[in-house]
């Protein structure tokens, strides 16, 4: 039986609906149907379930709400406005202004409006993550739930429960059809993330029509198989059943919860034939008037917000959240006195700052002609960082022995040990990357590892790391044909160019152990950008820095590694495991009387940020004879090569053979570099 809503409650719900209709209509673009249908569900979560203080939107122990069905963004914008969430200044402090004003809602989907077509993290307080690509939001929510469990296990003390926040994610058929959602759900079930609740809008409609066209899964059964608690609510308007379901979630201590809610797209409209149009298009003025009439709403009023609707949020979420935040802040002050070291760590995590002495453990590697694979030196550097960076947590998609990403003595993160810092993500590359975003949004310095070729499976989440300005670290090994016998399916060729094409992603490909160290040092200092650490399977020599350029130059993205007297005749450039090949070619050219310079380019993005004077000192414009060498495709190098430059690398897929044979077969050799250089010089 439907529990009757109070007049104030129904007024608030209908305000959400009418704001959503009006916003989409004003933009003449968007999706009004889902916000209309899910208004009661969202209202119930926000006013009765969530612990959230609108006056302190960044309260560290706030519950998180993720609108995974991001096309329903007007639902979230309406909630933010009605609940009175405060706007933040540039330093993250709350102001007296609303996060989203009614004028902001009127500019839905317009240039420079915080109310973008899909929720964008950073545009307005109350938006916890960027959603739009379906499945990403729910997968992010798994990372947020992991962070809550981890922070609680690390920092809660008897009498001091600082971190126990819950994560609510609203999702639809489109989210749960996407593979990334199932990867993340499987992970959450295995980890028994009891603080995670997905609310599934089972409305039976997608863009093409009824879900029967392509989809016949029983989600409740599927999620039970994944280790979830599942609850069904037959009608999205039944607030009593929704309350009961949410209460059951909060009482469940051993598994995540899926609430399956039946709704009708565009609920409340007297024109039931228009339900599909309401999903993906404005209703039109006539339909809106009919719908408002059915609600008992003034038909000609647009963006009407009755005071009682705001009061309904203030009396519930606002009062409860304000009280809880105030008590938490007082508890945190006591905690800081009792546990100053832990409190300082928490402060850094919350602020997204590096702790004092974070790089104190970084020690240079001794010169060694045999050297190390950069994946090996990477593992050593991670372990140099871990004791001094408490927020550093991560792992691999089932490849820890190969990617060298285990943190010594830090334990595995598991349902039995949420304090562990080694994540076991399983063979779920995309779910891993999406969860990393959620962990990063919660203040952790999250990293995830796999073979470089499998960035094909992670790219959407890597792109979102950059869109959201999250300093997620991707540790990507087996970076070229150098992995050898596994063959072309596992040999990344176009992947360096593909990763470099993502705006804001810093792609590091260090050439020896000390470059690895300095690349990590640079990556850790990035606050607003993700990093890809691209690493070799095969050994590379550790250069003698008394003879070669200072490896600290890697922190500028590119630097002179080996040089001649005076102005060079030719510049040899490269990255990663091809740097030793460039050095050998340099030695051969020098012996032949050709003045050459070797430029190591571990991070193009950092080099491009350097002053023009520095760039000119490394790559003088007067030297047009240039050769670049990299075991990938040429794309990306032309801005350094110029019109006359030559490229030694790949123009096809790889092959299966020992790596040294492959380099010879594909002409990635010092002899070829020397030949190209001499040809450029007419010799």
Question: What does the pLDDT look like over 393-410, one tens digit per residue?
Answer: 999 999 999 999 999 999
Flag whether 145 is in a domain.
yes
Radius of gyration of the chain (CA): 28
Local confidence band at 540 (pLDDT 50, 70, 90 cut-offs): very high
Dig out the tokens for 537 from the structure. Answer: 């399977």
55 and 183 together in one domain: yes
Shared domain for 457 and 592, answered yes or no, is no
Does 562 lie in the same domain as 536? no
More confident residue, 482 or 279: 482
Span 356-379, average pLDDT: 98
Q: What's the confidence (pLDDT) of residue 5?
A: 66
Q: Tell me the two tokens of residue 586.
A: 């340099």
The CATH number assigned to the domain holding 521 equals 3.40.50.970
Euclidean distance between the first and the last CA atom of the chain, given in angstroms as a whole number:
90
Asked if 429 is an active-site residue, the reply is yes
Could you tell me if 385 and 517 are in contact, meaning their C-beta atoms sit under 8 angstroms apart? Answer: no
Number of domains in the chain: 3
**Domain identity same for 502 and 452:** yes
Determine which one of 178, 429, 515, 605 is catalytic: 429
Q: What is the largest CA-CA distance in the chain?
A: 91
Asked if residue 296 is part of any domain, the answer here is yes
pLDDT of residue 273: 33
Q: Model-level pTM?
A: 0.96
288 and 374 part of one domain: no
User: Which DSSP symbol is given to 599?
Assistant: E
Residue 207, pLDDT > 90, answer no
Please count the CA atoms within 13 angstroms of the CA of 40 that sit on its side-chain side.
26
The residue range of the domain holding 126 is 13-325
What is the distance between the alpha carbons of residues 421 and 396, in angstroms, rounded to a whole number? 12
What integer pLDDT is reported at residue 279 of this predicted model?
A: 53
As a whole number of angstroms, the distance between CA 277 and CA 267 comes to 12
Question: For the segment 57-80, what is each residue's pLDDT rounded down to a tens digit?
Answer: 999 999 999 999 999 999 999 999
φ and ψ of 592, to 5 deg:
-90, 5
**Inside any domain, residue 6:** no
The percent of residues above 90 in pLDDT, for the chain, comes to 94
For residue 228, give the nearest of 261, 263, 182 by alpha carbon: 182
Q: Is 655 helix (H, G, I), strand (E, B) or coil?
A: coil
Task: Count Cβ atoms below 10 Å from residue 680 Cβ, excluding itself.
Answer: 17
pLDDT band (50, 70, 90) for residue 269? very low
Does residue 382 sit in the same domain as residue 512?
A: yes
CA distance 289 to 300: 7
Domain identity same for 584 and 672 = yes
The pLDDT score that the predictor gives to residue 482 is 96
Clarify whether residues 525 and 645 are in a common domain.
Answer: no
pLDDT of residue 204: 84
Angle 82-144-69 (CA atoms, 0-180°, nearest 5)? 55
Using DSSP, state whether 84 is helix, strand or coil: coil
Residues 520 and 458 in one domain: yes
Q: Would you say residue 433 lies in a domain?
A: yes
How do residues 226-251 score in pLDDT, each as one tens digit?
999 999 999 999 999 999 999 999 99
* Exposed e or buried b per residue across 273-309, where buried means at least 16 C-beta atoms within 10 angstroms of its C-beta: ebbbbbbbbbbbeebbebbbeebebeeeebbbbeeeb
Report residue 461 as tokens: 């989440």
Q: What percent of the chain is modeled with pLDDT above 70?
A: 97
* pLDDT mean over 669-680: 98
- Residues 98, 88 contacting (CB under 8 angstroms): no
Question: Which domain-ending residue is among 266, 293, 325?
Answer: 325
What are the tens digits of pLDDT across the range 561-572? 999 999 999 999
Is residue 173 domain-resident? yes
Lowest mean pLDDT among 132-141, 272-281, 624-633: 272-281
Res. 276: pLDDT tops 60:
no
What is the chain's mean pLDDT, rounded? 95
What is 160-223 written as a DSSP string? B------EEEEEEHHHHHSHHHHHHHHHHHHHT-TTEEEEEEE--EETTEEGGGT----HHHHH
Q: Do 92 and 221 have their domain in common? A: yes
**Among 490, 270, 330, 280, which residue's Cα sits nearest to residue 399?**
490
Shared domain for 257 and 170, answered yes or no, is yes
Residues 475 and 589 in one domain: no
Q: Is 258 left (phi over 0), alpha (psi -120 to 50) or beta?
A: beta
Pick the last residue of a domain from 501, 517, 541. Answer: 541
Please state, in angstroms and as integers, the Cα–Cα distance from residue 526 to each residue in 120, 459, 543, 611, following that order: 21, 20, 26, 18
Query: Is the confidence at residue 427, as pLDDT, over 80?
Result: yes
Q: What is the pLDDT of residue 501?
A: 98
Please give the pLDDT value at position 281.
81
The verdict on residue 353 lying in a domain is no
Q: Which of 514, 541, 568 is the last residue of a domain?
A: 541
Residue 275 reports pLDDT greater than 50: no
Residue 271 clears pLDDT 60, i.e. is over it:
no
In a domain, 663, yes or no: yes
Q: How confident is the model at residue 265 (pLDDT cuts 50, 70, 90)?
A: confident
CA separation (Å) from 144 to 23, 130, 164, 516, 617? 30, 13, 11, 30, 45
Residue 340 is assigned to a structural domain of this protein: no
Question: 166, 194, 163: which is closest to 66 by C-alpha?
Answer: 166
What is the C-alpha separation between 554 and 515, in angstroms, rounded? 6
Q: Which of 34-43, 182-191, 275-284 has the lowest mean pLDDT?
A: 275-284
The answer to whether residue 3 scores a pLDDT higher than 50 is: no
pLDDT digits (tens, 9 = 90+) for 600-623: 999 999 999 999 999 999 999 999
Token pair for 197: 């609740």
């Amino acid at each position: 039986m439907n529990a009757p809503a109070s007049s104030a409650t129904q007024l608030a719900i209908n305000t959400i609906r009418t704001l959503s209709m009006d916003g989409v209509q004003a933009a003449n673009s968007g999706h009004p149907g889902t916000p209309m249908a899910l208004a009661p569900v969202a209202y119930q979560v926000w006013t009765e379930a969530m612990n959230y203080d609108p006056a302190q939107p960044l309260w560290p122990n706030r519950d998180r709400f993720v609108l995974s069905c991001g096309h329903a963004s007007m639902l979230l914008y309406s909630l933010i406005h009605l609940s009175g969430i405060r706007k933040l200044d540039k330093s993250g402090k709350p102001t007296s202004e609303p996060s989203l004003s009614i004028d902001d809602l009127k500019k839905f989907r317009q240039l420079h409006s915080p109310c973008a077509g899909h929720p964008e993290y950073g545009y307005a307080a109350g938006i916890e993550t960027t959603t739009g690509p379906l499945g990403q939001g729910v997968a992010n929510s798994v990372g947020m739930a992991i962070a809550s469990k981890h922070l609680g296990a690390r920092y809660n003390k008897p009498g001091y429960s600082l971190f126990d926040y819950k994560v609510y994610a609203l999702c639809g058929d489109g989210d749960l059809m996407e593979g990334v959602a199932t990867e993340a759900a499987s992970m959450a079930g295995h980890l028994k993330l009891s603080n995670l609740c997905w609310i599934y809008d089972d409305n039976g409609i997608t863009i093409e029509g009824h879900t029967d066209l392509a989809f016949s899964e029983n989600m409740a059964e599927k999620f039970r198989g994944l280790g979830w608690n599942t609850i069904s609510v037959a009608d999205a308007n039944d607030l009593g059943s929704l309350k009961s379901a949410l209460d059951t979630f909060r009482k469940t201590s051993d598994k995540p919860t899926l609430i399956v809610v039946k709704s009708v797209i565009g609920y409340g409209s007297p024109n039931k034939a228009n339900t599909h149009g309401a999903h993906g298009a404005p209703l039109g003025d006539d339909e809106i008037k009919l719908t408002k009439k059915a609600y008992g709403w003034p038909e000609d009023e647009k963006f009407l917000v009755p005071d009682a609707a705001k009061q309904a949020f203030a009396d519930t979420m606002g009062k409860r959240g304000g009280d809880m935040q105030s008590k938490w802040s007082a508890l945190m002050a006591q905690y800081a006195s009792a546990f100053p070291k832990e409190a300082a760590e928490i402060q850094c995590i919350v602020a997204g700052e590096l702790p004092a002495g974070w790089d104190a453990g970084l020690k240079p590697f001794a010169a060694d002609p045999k050297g190390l694979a950069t994946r090996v030196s990477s593992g050593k550097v991670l372990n140099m960082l871990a004791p001094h960076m408490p927020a550093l947590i991560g792992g691999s998609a089932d490849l820890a022995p190969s990617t060298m990403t285990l943190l010594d003595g830090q334990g595995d993160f598991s349902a039995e040990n949420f304090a562990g810092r080694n994540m076991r993500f399983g063979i779920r590359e995309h779910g891993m990357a999406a969860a990393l975003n959620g962990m990063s949004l919660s203040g952790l310095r999250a990293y995830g590892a796999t073979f470089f070729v499998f960035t094909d499976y992670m790219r959407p989440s890597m792109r979102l790391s950059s869109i959201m300005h999250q300093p997620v670290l991707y540790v990507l090994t087996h970076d070229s044909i150098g992995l050898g016998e596994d063959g072309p399916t596992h040999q990344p060729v176009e992947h360096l160019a593909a990763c470099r094409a993502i705006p804001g992603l810093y792609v590091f490909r260090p050439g020896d152990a000390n470059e690895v160290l300095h690349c990590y040092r640079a990556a850790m200092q990035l606050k607003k950008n993700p990093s890809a650490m691209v690493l070799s399977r095969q050994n590379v020599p550790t250069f003698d820095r008394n003879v070669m350029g200072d490896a600290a130059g890697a922190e500028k993205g590119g630097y002179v590694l080996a040089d001649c007297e005076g102005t060079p005749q030719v510049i040899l450039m490269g990255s990663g495991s091809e740097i030793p090949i460039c050095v050998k070619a340099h030695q051969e050219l020098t012996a032949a009387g050709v003045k050459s310079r070797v430029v190591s380019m571990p991070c193009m993005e950092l080099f491009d940020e350097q002053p023009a004077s520095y760039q000119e000192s490394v790559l003088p414009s007067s030297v047009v004879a240039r050769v670049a060498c990299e075991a990938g495709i040429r794309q990306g190098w032309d801005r350094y090569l110029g019109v006359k430059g030559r490229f030694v690398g790949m123009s096809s897929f790889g092959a299966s053979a020992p790596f040294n044979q492959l380099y010879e077969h594909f002409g990635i050799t010092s002899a070829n570099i020397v030949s190209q250089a001499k040809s450029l010089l007419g010799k």
